[in-house]
Structure 1
Amino acid sequence: MLKLEPILSTAAISRQRFLQVGFSGALGLGLADLSTARKVSAGMGSNALFGRAKSVVLLFLSGAPSHQDIWDLKPDAPAEVRGEFRPIATVAPGVQIGPHVPRLAMVADKFAIVRSMTHSLPSHEHATHFVLTGVNQVPPGATHMASRADWPCYSATMQAVRPREDGVPSGVMLPTYIHNGYGFSGQTGGFMGSQYDPWHVTKDPNAADFNIDELTLLPDLTNQRIQNRRSLLTAMDGQHGYLQTPASSQSLSRSVEKAHQLLGAAGKFRDVFDMNREPAEVRDRYGRHAFGQSLLLARRLVEAGMPIIQANMGTMNNWDTHGDNFGQLKNRLLPPFDQGLSALLTDLDERGLLDTTLVVAVGEFGRTPQINAGGGRDHWSGVFSAVFAGAGVRGGQVIGASDDQAAYPATRGWYPADLGATIFTALGIDPESTMTDRQGRPHKINAGQIITPLFS
């Protein structure tokens, strides 16, 4: 069955039943008020990038891919740094990438590579938090484990400053929930509350039994029972005087209404998740594997109007190549990634969707310049690469540069907050906007700067 995973601990109420009852526990007490946003300034509104994207597809390579073996090869470096791979030419003049992404080399005119991404914390949990939310520091109270002190993920922030009225969240994360027994931060609504969580779809879209039936109703829950439950909880809301505080009473009503709306609206997306509606040749083009079918599902969600789709390229730390880095990249990781991403870019372009869809492929950091004794590369956040396409990105170019060992930026460094500013701006959200948390405290949603060279 399709699972909508719990987002804080495996002991928590199931995500599926969670949706049937309400958005934050059975009664939804203590949820935040709806957030407010600043009006877009005239200067931001005149930015050519602003609002260009209707959707963002974020390919997250959990575990941190080896940038110097895929996007930023150093053929003149010492052998213990350059490794086994040699760069190949692409269709973009002067742009070279690794030899095991040949399909991407043929569509390099559609994407740009930023080779000077950087931050200061090479820890999977913390860096995942940074990259998936657009912050450069751990928020107060947050740790290496997911909690309601975390900064909200991109879709949660979007939901906070631009609320949807149809009951559908602003984002979907698939096909894995990144966890190590505990969840990694950056995948939920964080301090904004669970009503801002994205959908977590945790089943392989390549599986023969992949479906969305369980998202609508549990087997024992009919439409009439939903209506009855809604009426009962509404009555409880009006009758229990001890609930009548500004936060609790508003939260209860909002939680019940959100859950009801979601159950109704989810049916509209059932066809989107029916992968059998895609022609066999299209599914084959993306690849009959989790990477490819996740990206095909991402394209279907783009067509359905989902603003933010995060497609995790594997489970937790899938790209964490401490050992046999070159064998893992060549044989296990890069072939499905190369096939899936190249198919997505081509498909979006052919359907006229690439111009309004921002595609980003990135991990939480990079890998060490020095190859270790096991033939692997270890954690390194001094510099890494990210790939951008669509929504006005000028393809066929490289932004920034690393030094001669791919260890540190040789040009201006770009940070996770800058990634966030770019994503929000593309979606038509002013990074200067504010959101108000459950304690009534305002937070500026982003402190970064747009990666403007992408669009010039």
Structure 2
Amino acid sequence: MSLLSHLARRDFLKLGAGAAVGLALPRPALASTEGKAKQVILVNLTGGLSHLDSLDMKPEAPAEVRGEFTPRQTTLPGVQICEHLPLLAARMRHWALVRSLSHGENGHLPGTHRLLTGSTMPNQRQTDLDNVLSRRDWPCYAAGLNHLRPRKDGIPNGVVLPHALIEGPLTWPGQHAGFLGPGADPMLVAQDPSAPNFKMDAFALPDGTDPVRVEGRRGLLEQLESTGTGDPAFRDHQRRAFELLNSGRVAGAFRLDREPNKIRDRYGRNQFGQSLLLARRLIESGVPIVQANMGIVQSWDTHVDNWGKLKTRLLPWLDQSLAALVDELDALGRLSETLVVVSGEFGRTPKVSTLPGETIPGRDHWARVYSGLFAGGGVVGGRVIGKSDRSGTSPVTTSYTPFDIGATIYRALGVDPESEIRDPQNRPTRVCPGTPMDILFQNK
């Protein structure tokens, strides 16, 4: 598939002047902000990780709350996490574990929009069938960065992998540039990096294409730009395509077959592991934001067989791939400049339940309190921030929202979250309404 084919899938990106709402908007001067990170990897636990069965266990709670897993001691005195996260437990020196994430949206689609954009969905609709991907959405982080800090070197400001969040008729909101228009959309990798035939041929000319003719088209584009002839939005798309074809650095990042087998094995020969390996290679190539969707849509949405799914696949795969990622970033000297954020759109209910017609119990959606992990990019690791109550129902200390995560991501990259963008009505507004989580970077 070509890049344009990938980006056109299910309206993830509709190319053309008619859809380019945001391209004509004025770009304000970027506020001066010092950021310690050059890149961000957002590990999206799509569907919502059960905090009670992973990062914030309650072994003293009643059975209907504590669940089936046993906690294990981490390298931090008095701090325990799930028995099925042994590699994470051994590497807590790198991580800040936040146990007081919280917001008020228990729906997957608007909750995901908050996580991926750092903002509330504009004009939130009444049903899931209405709350699908839309050019009314707030821009994702890569799009906001692209709008405020555009680049012309062929390196995309963001890559989403290994798939878009699509479930039947629903394409989840918040995944692209929204009202900023398709010119700011991140690049989509719609393939499983663990597949034997994985390749990203968006960087190759289609079979039968004459390179001489392509160069002629590039020359024509330059002439049109110099004279102001033609549609500006369409010229911008063409320019991006030419830049991408010339970007050998990014093209090389997708050649996972060049990675030593021992490294690929270290990450795990599964979708989680190879996606985070690819994320590491992409940030090495200069891509500033990589969003890795861990699992198919709603993988972590464990209404049924919560403990079976977590034990046999989800937690072991996440544990192995995160350990390999932070180990490599640390060994390569890149952890200090790469912010890693691990979060779902919410957590799971404190009380175990069984859905009608099912026999194996699970947990439902719970946004009132949940947990996330932060490392690198100046984050002071080796500590726990925040606390939930005895049943994991509510925060009992300062809580932090997805909006605050978004502001933290922007600030880490040197973008002031108060930087101005224009909404669809051309009104000035902040790129992110949250407050940066300064506590992550404070040594106390």
TM-score, scaled to structure 2: 0.90
Q: Measure, in 2, the Cα distance between the counterparts of 1:229 and 1:29.
A: 22
Deviation track 1:336-392 (CA, whole Å, cap 9, x = no partner) reads: 110000110111001100000000110010100000123200111111111000011
Q: Measure, in 2, the Cα distance between the counterparts of 1:273 and 1:129.
A: 27
Q: Measure, in 2, the Cα distance between the counterparts of 1:238 and 1:28.
A: 24
Q: Where does structure 1 lack aligned partners over 5 or more consecutive residues?
A: 16-22, 244-248
Q: Measure, in 2, the Cα distance between the counterparts of 1:232 and 1:437.
A: 34
Specify the alignment match of 1:20 in structure 2. Answer: none
1:128 counterpart letter in structure 2: T
- Bigger drift between 180-189 and 112-121 goes to 180-189
Q: Measure, in 2, the Cα distance between the counterparts of 1:225 and 1:166.
A: 22
Q: Measure, in 2, the Cα distance between the counterparts of 1:8 and 1:129.
A: 20
Specify the alignment match of 2:28 in structure 1. Answer: 37
2:245 is the counterpart of 1:257: no
1:399 counterpart letter in structure 2: I
Q: Identify the match of residue 261 of structure 2 among 277, 280, 298.
A: 280
Question: What is the SS of the residue equivalent to 2:16?
Answer: coil
1:190 counterpart letter in structure 2: G
Equivalent positions of 1:12-51 (< 5 A) are 24-25=15-16, 32-33=23-24, 35-41=26-32, 45=33, 50-51=34-35
2:373 is the counterpart of 1:372: no
Deviation at 1:121, TM superposition (A): 1.1
Specify the alignment match of 1:175 in structure 2. Answer: 162
Specify the alignment match of 1:326 in structure 2. Answer: 307
1:209 counterpart letter in structure 2: N
Aligned-pair identity in percent equals 45
2:115 counterpart letter in structure 1: V
Specify the alignment match of 1:104 in structure 2. Answer: 88
Q: Measure, in 2, the Cα distance between the counterparts of 1:2 and 1:273.
A: 14
Deviation at 1:400, TM superposition (A): 0.6
Q: Identify the match of residue 203 of structure 1 among 191, 198, 209.
A: 191
Specify the alignment match of 1:355 in structure 2. Answer: 336
Equivalent positions of 1:185-204 (< 5 A) are 185-204=173-192
Specify the alignment match of 1:140 in structure 2. Answer: 123
Deviation at 1:454, TM superposition (A): 1.2
1:51 counterpart letter in structure 2: G
CA contact (8 A) 2:306 2:362 kept: yes
2:48 is the counterpart of 1:64: yes
Q: Measure, in 2, the Cα distance between the counterparts of 1:76 and 1:372.
A: 19
2:406 is the counterpart of 1:420: yes
Specify the alignment match of 1:381 in structure 2. Answer: 367
Q: Measure, in 1, the Cα distance between the counterparts of 2:213 and 2:124.
A: 40
Change (3 A) 1:383 1:262: same
Change (3 A) 1:169 1:436: farther
The CA RMSD over aligned residues, in Å, is: 2.5
Deviation at 1:92, TM superposition (A): 1.8
Specify the alignment match of 1:399 in structure 2. Answer: 385
Aligned length in residues: 432
Change (3 A) 1:6 1:341: same
Change (3 A) 1:334 1:401: same
1:422 counterpart letter in structure 2: T
Q: Measure, in 1, the Cα distance between the counterparts of 2:19 and 2:71.
A: 54
2:204 is the counterpart of 1:222: no
Deviation at 1:208, TM superposition (A): 1.5
Change (3 A) 1:26 1:455: closer
Deviation at 1:258, TM superposition (A): 2.6
2:185 is the counterpart of 1:212: no
Q: Where does structure 2 lack aligned partners over 5 or more consecutive residues?
A: 355-359
Deviation at 1:34, TM superposition (A): 5.8
1:398 counterpart letter in structure 2: V
Question: What is the SS of the residue equivalent to 2:198?
Answer: coil
CA contact (8 A) 1:4 1:201 kept: no
CA contact (8 A) 1:234 1:253 kept: no
Change (3 A) 1:346 1:238: closer
Question: What is the SS of the residue equivalent to 2:171?
Answer: coil
2:421 counterpart letter in structure 1: M
Change (3 A) 1:27 1:124: closer
Question: What is the SS of the residue equivalent to 1:270?
Answer: helix
Q: Identify the match of residue 317 of structure 2 among 327, 336, 339.
A: 336
Equivalent positions of 1:93-172 (< 5 A) are 93-135=77-119, 137-140=120-123, 143-172=130-159
CA contact (8 A) 2:162 2:189 kept: yes
Specify the alignment match of 1:410 in structure 2. Answer: 396
1:256 counterpart letter in structure 2: Q
